[in-house]
Amino acid sequence: MSKNPFRYFKTSPDIIQLRVMMYVRFPLTLRNVEDLLHERGIDICHESIRLWVDRFGTYIVHKIRKRRSESVRRSPQGQ
């Protein structure tokens, strides 16, 4: 059984994953992500986002690659 990597954080794991993906997937700066969050009523410092990217970036990338490889295996070949 693997431990939950988000277990010591007060913020929801869904919010952390979404914010890390915003930073990694799109050409946004940490402050741009902070501004987007602020417009949606979530007050999180850009330094928190940086710490999340450093801590969870590889974990989230691993999850995405695993999900993509599973979907490729399920799709019919040659179509």
| Whether the Cβ atoms of residue 56 and residue 5 lie closer than 8 Å to each other | yes
Q: Against a cut of 0.85, is the pTM above it?
A: no
Per-residue model confidence (pLDDT) at position 50:
94
Q: What is the pLDDT of residues 65-77, one digit of tens each?
A: 888 888 777 877 6
What angle is formed at CA 63 by the lines to CA 74 and CA 28, rounded to 5 degrees? 120
Torsion (CA) 73, 25, 42, 29 in degrees, nearest 10:
160
Q: What is the pLDDT of residues 4-57, one digit of tens each?
A: 888 888 888 888 888 888 888 888 999 999 999 899 998 889 999 999 999 998
Per-residue model confidence (pLDDT) at position 34:
92
